[in-house]
DNA sequence: TATGAATGAGGCTTCATTCAT
DNA sequence: AATGAATGAAGCCTCATTCAT
């Protein structure tokens, strides 16, 4: 049940969500799929090589179209990049939020659930690549970086902060500074996501990170560290 | 005592004469200092913009020399990059190792000490920038990535694994898988280092990460989670 | 019938559409013709200025295209140069060989014929420029020099040696060392070819060489010198 | 007695004439020799690689001085080149002229003597390299080309023309067009000189030209072809 | 809509030349 | 006089973008 964390499942979920074009169901020609294919190609290449080192012709080729066609859909390389980032974020936050609101168990359980969700989305999906490319390019695209912060990082963060706060308020967690605790909480997964798309994808890289092991140790340690009353309770 | 973690202390270390301060009347004859100045300039720019997006002329200009001068010291942009990575790693691992070997207290204390050391080196020093740039460029420079793994990541990792093992053997820590535990242990700091050089350096970035708070929460949670017998502290 | 030997008939052969004449309204879609146009431009400029002193953009401009277009067809200036040399040699040797094999007259006549052929090809055609450029660049492109030796010089030489040998064997020529005799035989023409593309092409050059006069004197002297029995012509 | 004609005796006579600086005899420091050393280095390198492909630093290095020093003696690369050409021509023509004027034998003998002289000077001396480089660069340096024509080519040519004319007038030679005959006469040697510094200097070049054999065949054929009365005379 | 030939601004690198020592 | 670090114009080449088909 433990899977080493090396070659990211790049090919598997080509787009983050199969975003179901305007008329999903009847597949016309291919034209309707073009933007998605281009974004998927862009994602794979930008993540692999970085923005500047990726040639737009490569993206087109990977999407199976010619150089010129790319420009029918995106006005420039930069627009393609921005579209890719905006597109591949999609709805996961919304989903997680919905899940959290309906949740009725303990905060401990909710935390575990959310972290698993996060990993399932970021670790198992090409969306994780967005994290790497944003980390690499944030300073070159401040506007995008802020978009990413507003749409992804801060909402996720706030959601987890809220859970921690609720847990503390309920006496379930020890009183810790929630912001810092959230950083501690998500870091291992974030690290694995980034590793997956950098060192982990190098041909000769060293010992792979065992994602499942890290996740379970992380939950174990964190919850042990967070829980208020020593285990004698319950 | 808590310092927000945003504009990285770019200029601080890396042995960089403030490039030709007010007393810079002589504009030649710097042969000895030039390599360091160029490496410092390269570090700042490669970290900020990435390898491909940095023009070699920019590096030269930042080092206070002209385009051509750069090539008197480094045969190509790529050689400059490699030299920079190799140069900026220095001896921190060796230092940490020496410290660990002489240490006589508990593993809990040693762990805290090592993490603080790591942060002092990577978080407060331009060396942290190397982490960001390596993460961004690992797949473009596999040879360098392996150098970095061999010289930095793996030795650090092994050292911490050894401490965890010793702690477990001594009954000080609960039996946890050491490799995974180390990932959990260093992730928050790694995350902060990367953040510092990406989102944290964006002009408009959101709420800063409070490094000291994260570090103390991290130690608190981790050690609480690691410690073996619930010290009957009810 | 005697033509002074100065400005080489640069434009004449080498299959070069007069680059976009008056009817050049379409400025694109020349894919088939481009390689020839580029090679012709390269030939003219490399012969005129030498390899190193010719800028690739000049070649492109002379071919009526832009800098970048050149690189769609040839990967580098060096590749362009090599392609040009290889291209401009063509089949003359094969033709001469065929002619020699079918020839039924005396060796004296064959020799005269072959030399005229050689001059017609090298002296009246842009191919002669290749001789100059190869002489100038042989030491910078040893591989190409050997190609030229193998494909042009040595076959031509061997063919003439064979004729001399046959003439000697038939008692038509005096017994002379055939290799040296061939050198003597072709030198005047070679000299004129080189002159044509060097001094002869200088605006202010001195008295032109009269090619036809040289050729006829050359035949006269050579054959007089070669012929075996003093035909008793007193 | 026959020597193959491949690696030109580059090193042997460094300068064409050991030009005996102002105070030859007492050798001061080195300074007086510097210009000669630089010219010799320039000759070797320009002949080997051509003007444009030779870096001025290479010339300086070969002369055993630094880059800057070169510019103390010659204002620019072009001036160095011109000085080299002008310098390495020197007095041979004058010498040959003197010899011809004092000569008292037959024109046949004088012709043989002059050709041997020419070969001794151009074929055995670095001066031959000037021929190659002038052929290669004539169109880039028209002024130099004219200098070369005026100082070397035309005087030599005229001298030989005069001999031919005298021979014809004396009934010693058949009446041939003297200009063309001279071309025929010197071509083989010119060819060998050029070959020596181009194909002949390539590492893998084909069969070497046997200079002595060519020269003797050349004299044999030429004189046979030139001589007026068939050999029955004498 | 799709193509891919063509363009040309711009980056990397070289090297002739300068100049402080 | 000699040095060699420094300069920057200029050349090679790439690649984002355009546009005729």
Distance between CA atoms of residues C61 and C56, nearest Å:
9
Distance between CA atoms of residues A230 and B234, nearest Å:
6
Least confident span in C14-28, C88-102, D32-46, D165-179:
C14-28
Nearest to D196 by CA among D9, D2, D3, D1: D9
pLDDT band for position A203 (cuts 50, 70, 90)? confident
Question: What are the phi and psi torsion angles at A173 (to 5°)?
Answer: -110, 155
How confident is the prediction for chain D on average, in pLDDT?
84
B63-72, Cβ contacts within 8 angstroms, sequence gap of 24 or more = B63/B19, B63/B34, B63/B37, B63/B38, B64/B19, B64/B20, B64/B24, B64/B37, B65/B34, B65/B37, B65/B38, B69/B34, B70/B38, B72/B34
Q: Which residue of C lies nearest to D226 if distances are taken between CA atoms?
A: C221
Select from C52, C188, C207 the Cβ nearest to the Cβ of D52. Answer: C52
Q: Which residues are C210's β-sheet partners?
A: C4
pLDDT for residue B215 = 92
Q: Taking 50 as the threshold, does the pLDDT of residue A22 lie above it?
A: no
3-state secondary structure chain A: CCCECCCCCCCCCCCCCCCCCCCCCCCCCCCCCHHHHHHHHHHHHHHHHCCCCCCHHHHHHHCCCCHHHHHHHCCCHHHHHHHHHHHCCCCHHHHHHHHHHHCCCCHHHHHHHHHHHHHHHHHCCCHHHHHHHHHHHCCCCHHHHHHHHHHHHHHHHHHHHHHHHHHHHCCCECCCCHHHHHHHHHHHHHHHHHHHCCHHHCCCCCCCCEHHHHHHHHHHHHHHHHECCCCCCC
Number of helices and strands in chain C (H, E): 11, 0
Select from C136, C207, C221 the Cβ nearest to the Cβ of D136. Answer: C136
D113 or C11: which leads in pLDDT:
D113
Q: Taking 70 as the threshold, does the pLDDT of residue A7 lie above it?
A: no
Query: End-to-end distance of chain D based on CA atoms, in angstroms?
Result: 28
- Residue C100 sits at the vertex; the CA angle it makes with C94 and C101, to the nearest 5 degrees, is 90
Residue nearest to nucleotide E14 (CA to C1'): B68
Q: Which residues are A210's β-sheet partners?
A: A4
Pinpoint the residues of chain A covered by CATH 1.10.10.60: 34-87
Give nucleotides in strand E with any atom < 7 A to a protein C-beta.
1-21
Segments of chain B with pLDDT less than 70: 1-29, 90-93, 228-234
**Per-range mean pLDDT, top range of A14-28, C166-180, D46-60:** D46-60
pLDDT for residue D32 = 75
Q: Do residues A171 and A233 touch, judged by C-beta distance below 8 A? A: no
How confident is the prediction for chain A on average, in pLDDT?
84
Considering the domain delimited by D34-87, tell me its CATH architecture: Orthogonal Bundle (1.10)
Nearest to A181 by CA among B183, B216, B173, B186: B216
Q: Do residues D220 and C176 touch, judged by C-beta distance below 8 A? A: yes
Closest nt to residue A30, judged CA to C1': E1
Which H helix or E strand runs over B57?
helix B56-62
- Site of tokens 């919304």: A94
What's the CA–C1' distance between B83 and F7, in Å?
Answer: 24
pLDDT for residue A208 = 87
pLDDT for residue B28 = 60
pLDDT for residue D228 = 67
What's the CA–C1' distance between A72 and E1, in Å?
Answer: 9
Q: Do residues C131 and D134 touch, judged by C-beta distance below 8 A? A: no
- Residue C34 sits at the vertex; the CA angle it makes with C31 and C38, to the nearest 5 degrees, is 160
The model carries a pTM of: 0.88
Check CB contact under 8 Å for A191 and B192.
no
pLDDT for residue C109 = 92
Pinpoint the residues of chain D covered by CATH 1.10.357: 92-226
Nearest to A45 by CA among A61, A27, A58: A58
For A115-143, the pLDDT digits (tens) are: 998 999 899 888 899 999 999 999 999 99
- For residue C101, the SS3 value is helix
Residue nearest to nucleotide E6 (CA to C1'): C69
**HSE value, Cβ hemisphere, 13 Å, CA-based, for D55:** 5
pLDDT for residue D24 = 40
What's the CA–C1' distance between A65 and F20, in Å?
Answer: 19
**Neighbouring subunits of D (3+ Cβ pairs under 8 A):** C
How would you classify residue D229: left for phi > 0, otherwise alpha for psi between -120 and 50, otherwise beta? beta
Q: Which residue of D lies nearest to C4 if distances are taken between CA atoms?
A: D180
What's the CA–C1' distance between D137 and F10, in Å?
Answer: 21
Distance between CA atoms of residues B214 and C58, nearest Å:
62
Check CB contact under 8 Å for B139 and A198.
yes
pLDDT for residue C63 = 97
- Site of tokens 């961004």: B136
Q: Which residue of D lies nearest to C212 if distances are taken between CA atoms?
A: D180
pLDDT for residue D96 = 75
Give me the percent of chain A exceeding a pLDDT of 90: 60
Check CB contact under 8 Å for B136 and A135.
yes
pLDDT for residue D226 = 74
Considering the domain delimited by C92-226, tell me its CATH architecture: Orthogonal Bundle (1.10)
Q: Which of C4, C187, C201 to mutate to test the interface with D (most CBs of D within 10 A)?
A: C187
A76 or A206: which leads in pLDDT:
A76
> Using the CB atom, is residue C103 less than 7 Å from strand F?
no
Q: Do residues D31 and D226 touch, judged by C-beta distance below 8 A? A: no
Segments of chain C with pLDDT less than 50: 1-2, 6-26, 230-234
- Residues 75-94 of chain C in contact with strand F via CB under 7 angstroms: 75-78
- Residues 33-72 of chain A in contact with strand F via CB under 7 angstroms: 54-57, 67-68, 71
pLDDT for residue A92 = 63
For A161-189, the pLDDT digits (tens) are: 999 999 999 999 999 999 999 999 999 99
> Using the CB atom, is residue C55 less than 7 Å from strand F?
yes
Number of helices and strands in chain B (H, E): 11, 0
Q: Do residues B116 and A169 touch, judged by C-beta distance below 8 A? A: no
Q: Taking 80 as the threshold, does the pLDDT of residue D117 lie above it?
A: yes
The shares of helix, strand and coil residues in chain B, as percent rounded to the nearest 5, are: 65, 0, 35
What's the CA–C1' distance between C66 and E7, in Å?
Answer: 7
Check CB contact under 8 Å for B225 and A230.
no
Check CB contact under 8 Å for A50 and B137.
yes
Across the range D183-195, mean pLDDT stands at: 95
**HSE value, Cβ hemisphere, 13 Å, CA-based, for A29:** 4
> Using the CB atom, is residue B30 less than 7 Å from strand F?
yes
């Amino acid at each position: 049940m433990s899977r080493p964390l090396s070659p990211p499942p790049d090919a598997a979920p080509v787009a983050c969500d199969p975003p179901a074009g305007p008329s999903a169901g009847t597949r016309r020609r291919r034209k309707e799929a073009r933007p998605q294919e281009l974004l998927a190609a862009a994602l794979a290449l930008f993540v692999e090589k970085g923005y500047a080192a990726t040639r737009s012709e490569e993206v087109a080729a990977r999407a199976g179209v010619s150089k010129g066609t790319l420009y029918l859909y995106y006005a420039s390389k930069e627009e393609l990049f921005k579209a890719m980032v905006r597109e591949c974020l999609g709805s996961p936050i919304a989903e997680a939020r919905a899940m959290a609101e309906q949740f009725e168990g303990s905060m401990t359980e909710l935390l575990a659930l959310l972290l698993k969700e996060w990993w399932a989305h970021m670790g198992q999906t090409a969306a994780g690549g967005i994290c790497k490319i944003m980390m690499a390019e944030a300073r070159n695209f401040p506007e995008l970086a802020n978009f990413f912060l507003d749409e992804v990082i801060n909402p996720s963060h706030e959601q987890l902060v809220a859970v921690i706060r609720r847990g503390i308020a309920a006496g379930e967690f020890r009183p810790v500074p929630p912001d810092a605790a959230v950083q501690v909480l998500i870091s291992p997964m974030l690290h694995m996501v980034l590793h997956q798309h950098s060192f982990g994808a190098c041909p000769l890289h060293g010992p792979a990170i065992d994602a499942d092991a890290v996740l379970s140790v992380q939950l174990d340690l964190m919850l042990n560290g967070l829980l208020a009353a020593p285990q004698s309770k319950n």
